[in-house]
Structure 1
């Protein structure tokens, strides 16, 4: 099924010095015990483009995707976050840490930057944002906050914003507006997640730094913890991702992940057509996730849908994948995956779509195609519907990724 695209066509803008990418869920196995477990996940990003720049994914990332290990942590530091070839945040440090101590069971995520700057329009120095979510004695809690050492809007110093109230909106002449200290927390039937963002930049007028209509979150954190359950559900999905060797040149599109599930609701994330600069043109992309954790059963399902991909003369039709995982209280684990590709052409020549897992097709001088690339472990399964190795660019494009698993 092809996605219905109601958005305007997006042209992806190159991003310099991307440091870190949202990684695929780590392969995890575990005990067959049905004892209840806590789940921990969270992240801290230097910057995250929320609209408009389709291949500008999160930068300077510290992330724990989903784990039952209360000692898990991730750190990233001394980096510059760039958006639209502009160095927006400098000397960025991020960390995400799980804990199980006198505070309870939870996660803390923190991000700092020496300065956040858009020319003479906006200057924020000594920025720090943090959020914590935790469970103690069955009760759910969260905190979140942002502080600055200095705030300047245009040429005006604004000391009243050093400890801005939550969700403070400030006009920035020549740019649009910013929201400082954006914080919040959401309790679900499964647990709690909290978020904090030092500043969200909204470009609403023409300027030299960001295209009109683009929103950029700078120093973005999230902390998430689940109540005890039969198992944690995990997984992720995205439409496309491109890399040269180990360097990601286009971040995952329509990316989704989970640890708590979705309380049985289907969550859909979509982007319109986009370009991976100098590599490929991608049709509309959308992903879905649906999952639930509980005392009797935990399950999750991810899907990925891409309208089509063009790489030079290589044209590939609609691409889809799906992955699901579940565990019952008696310890029974189920894993499933599927993928499909509508067609493959080079000019007027039609090539057969290979079936079976990890099947390959060589197109001399153009690319190697790997179909239905599957990885399995005892409690985890992932599938890439198609992997394109583009010879002339030394570039790998993953299309239609879905993964699912259970922990505990």
Structure 2
């Protein structure tokens, strides 16, 4: 069992898919004659706040990032998943695993809960949601579905919703509305990913359980498989992330990851201003990714852009970073990164912005700053434009993260 992280308030990052940190993947050396590889990734969450304000990332997480291992698996369970200090989902279990058998090769993600409750407004029992994405006999396909043992809205039992159709919208007096069995899939020239969510709670009116304006996905799953390629592309980008010891204070904002690339198109994800209570204020940020996988060449580029950050008396100007990786079928490969920070100021005093890799600046009584923090491997690179260690709060704030790599 993993520790529970409760929800409070923090700016929304939309529905960006969190598929895992690429730096945990062991990159292999590949050769000119290497066989094409498949890429597997997926996740299952107990709860995830998709908009509004909260103070942590997804709960009860089972996930793995882009991997070539068809035996990769992750499981998790927890007694309760909370939102806004309310017990929303109880006895939650999640499971994400890859497979390569008579069905084909792919990923299945499943999440279950004994019950999902929003006070006396909504009660769902025996909840299960699952999705599968696979490649078989040259074809990509997916399935996704949700079922319930019982559905009660207020004091009314609704048996017709035990096996709801895809994306069934239902009004819930005192809350707003819910969407049951939100499912779908996206097929590209590079592969396919699918998603399934048991229920999405939309709090459109003031209530005591979920802040008005907040959307919460309960039992959220995703599965992804790529077509065979000369190399897979991995990586991530986000604007900011904050941790106190091992506790998530603020999850990654504007997060993007990849396994398949983007078919050469630039994908942009943006978040508004963010207030991390008692820690920092973050200006609007956005990230981009652009890349593709193929039999001749695979490449990827991630960028991160942050409008500015304030931590107590410390003011940080605009922050940017980028990371790129590529590989061709003849075995040639490369990685690169860059970062920049507009300014560093405490009150009226301006501090120099250091440009070397892993350079540090100690501001007594305020924070330790690490500039252009780079981790480099043969076919993988990640850069944090700035890492702020806040002495008084025992908190670390990462600003402007980009990472990119290739796996073969």
Q: TM-score, normalised by structure 2?
A: 0.94
Residues 48-57 or 115-124, more deviating: 48-57
CA drift of 1:60 comes to 1.2
Q: Cα–Cα, structure 1 residues 14 and 308, in superposed 2: closer, same or farther, change >3 Å?
A: closer
Alignment of 1:384-399 (within 5 A): 384-399=384-399
CA drift of 1:55 comes to 4.2
CA drift of 1:77 comes to 0.6
Runs of 4+ in 1 over 6 A off after TM superposition: none
Q: Which residue of 1 aligns with 2:29?
A: 31
In 1, Cα distance between equivalents of 2:78 and 2:211: 27
Q: How many residues align?
A: 393
In 2, Cα distance between equivalents of 1:91 and 1:285: 36
Q: Which residue of 1 aligns with 2:302?
A: 302
CA drift of 1:48 comes to 1.3
Q: Which residue of 2 aligns with 1:65?
A: 65
Q: Which residue of 2 aligns with 1:5?
A: none
2:363 pairs with 1:366:
no
CA drift of 1:58 comes to 1.5
In 2, Cα distance between equivalents of 1:244 and 1:14: 18
Q: Which residue of 2 aligns with 1:168?
A: 168
In 2, Cα distance between equivalents of 1:332 and 1:87: 52
In 2, Cα distance between equivalents of 1:23 and 1:40: 11
Q: Which residue of 2 aligns with 1:3?
A: none
Q: Which residue of 1 aligns with 2:212?
A: 212
Q: Are the equivalent residues in 1 in contact too, given 2:388–2:398 (CA < 8 A)?
A: yes
2:148 pairs with 1:148:
yes
In 2, Cα distance between equivalents of 1:213 and 1:135: 39
CA drift of 1:22 comes to 6.6
Q: Which residue of 2 aligns with 1:193?
A: 193
- Could you list the per-position Cα deviations for residues 300-345 of structure 1 after superposition, in whole angstroms to 9, with x for gaps in the alignment? 1111111111111011100111001111111111101000000001
Alignment of 1:24-173 (within 5 A): 24-25=21-22, 26-33=24-31, 34-53=34-53, 55-173=55-173
Q: Secondary structure at the match of 1:209?
A: coil
CA drift of 1:79 comes to 3.9
Q: Are the equivalent residues in 2 in contact too, given 1:389–1:395 (CA < 8 A)?
A: yes
2:284 pairs with 1:284:
yes
Q: Which residue of 2 aligns with 1:4?
A: none
CA drift of 1:24 comes to 2.3
CA drift of 1:208 comes to 1.3
Q: Which residue of 2 aligns with 1:272?
A: 272
Q: Cα–Cα, structure 1 residues 23 and 393, in superposed 2: closer, same or farther, change >3 Å?
A: farther
In 2, Cα distance between equivalents of 1:199 and 1:389: 38
Q: Are the equivalent residues in 1 in contact too, given 2:11–2:273 (CA < 8 A)?
A: no
Q: Secondary structure at the match of 2:338?
A: strand
In 1, Cα distance between equivalents of 2:99 and 2:390: 43
In 2, Cα distance between equivalents of 1:345 and 1:85: 36
In 1, Cα distance between equivalents of 2:112 and 2:85: 21
Q: Are the equivalent residues in 1 in contact too, given 2:77–2:91 (CA < 8 A)?
A: yes
Q: Cα–Cα, structure 1 residues 67 and 93, in superposed 2: closer, same or farther, change >3 Å?
A: same
CA drift of 1:293 comes to 0.6
CA root-mean-square deviation: 1.5
CA drift of 1:78 comes to 2.0
Q: Which residue of 2 aligns with 1:8?
A: none
In 1, Cα distance between equivalents of 2:142 and 2:279: 43
Q: Are the equivalent residues in 2 in contact too, given 1:55–1:252 (CA < 8 A)?
A: no
In 1, Cα distance between equivalents of 2:322 and 2:79: 35
Q: Which residue of 2 aligns with 1:330?
A: 330
Q: Which residue of 1 aligns with 2:318?
A: 318
In 2, Cα distance between equivalents of 1:27 and 1:133: 21
Q: Are the equivalent residues in 1 in contact too, given 2:19–2:43 (CA < 8 A)?
A: no
Q: Secondary structure at the match of 2:57?
A: coil
In 1, Cα distance between equivalents of 2:79 and 2:381: 33
Q: Which consecutive unaligned segments of at least 5 residues does structure 2 have?
A: 1-7, 13-17
CA drift of 1:262 comes to 1.0
- Could you list the per-position Cα deviations for residues 228-263 of structure 1 after superposition, in whole angstroms to 9, with x for gaps in the alignment? 001110101111111111221111111111101111
Q: Which residue of 1 aligns with 2:4?
A: none
Q: Which residue of 1 aligns with 2:250?
A: 250
Q: Which consecutive unaligned segments of at least 5 residues does structure 1 have?
A: 1-10, 16-20
